[in-house]
Amino acid sequence: MSKISKTDAEWKAQLSDEAFHVARRHGTERAFTSPLNAEKRAGMFACVCCGKPVFASAAKFDSGTGWPSFYEPT
């Protein structure tokens, strides 16, 4: 996969404020607040920046940490 080079302004235009903070500034969301914790549909979880698949929903498990957890990447 080739590296994606964008300015902060370009990333901010593409991402929500929270997604920018988490993906580009090493932030995190508060535990137990992500709607992805309750996500049960079959499919893929994709990178918010590039859209590439990162985890299959079949690899998701409840780790008790308050964040979606997966036992293997795609």
Q: Could you tell me the pLDDT band of residue 5, with boundaries at 50, 70 and 90? A: very high
Q: Could you tell me the pLDDT band of residue 2, with boundaries at 50, 70 and 90? A: confident
Domain assignments of the chain as residue spans, ordered by start: 8-66
At 46 the pLDDT is 96
Q: How many CA atoms lie within 13 A of 59 on its CB side?
A: 12
Q: Vertex 26, ends 21 and 32: CA angle to 5°?
A: 75
pLDDT over 80 at 9, yes or no: yes
User: Which option is the CATH number for 8-66: 2.170.150.20, 3.60.20.10, 3.40.50.2000, 1.10.10.1800?
Assistant: 2.170.150.20
Residue 58: what are its φ and ψ, rounded to 5°? -65, -20
Q: What is the pLDDT of residues 17-44, one digit of tens each?
A: 999 999 999 999 999 999 999 999 999 9
Residue 29 identity: E
What is the rounded CA–CA span in Å between residue 44 and residue 5?
24
Q: Which of 46, 34, 2, 9 is nearest to 24 (CA)?
A: 9
